[in-house]
Amino acid sequence: MDELIAGYRRFRAETWPRERARFEELAAQGQRPHTMVIACSDSRVDPQMIFSAGPGELFVLRNVANLVPPYMPDALFHGTSAAVEFAVRVLKVDRIVVMGHALCGGIRAVLEGVPPEAADFVAGWIRIAGRAREVALRCDVPEQRQEVAEHEAVRISLANLMTFPWVIEAVAEGRLTLHGAHFGVATGRLVLVPAAGPAAAA
* Structural domains of the chain, with CATH: 1-29 (no CATH), 31-201 (3.40.1050.10)
Which pLDDT value is given to residue 104? 98
List % helix, strand, coil for the chain (3-state, nearest 5): 50, 15, 35
**Does 197 have pLDDT greater than 80?**
no
Give tens-digit pLDDT for 148-174: 999 999 999 999 999 999 999 999 999
195 burial type by CB count under 10 A (0-12 exposed, 13-18 middle, 19+ buried): middle
Cα-Cα-Cα-Cα dihedral sign, residues 187, 64, 129, 110: positive
Rounded to an integer, the average pLDDT of 43-58 is 97
Name the pTM for this structure: 0.94
- 105-112 and 145-161 are packed helices; what angle lies between their axes, rounded to 10 degrees? 100
Nearest in space to 93 (alpha carbons), one of 122, 126, 60: 60
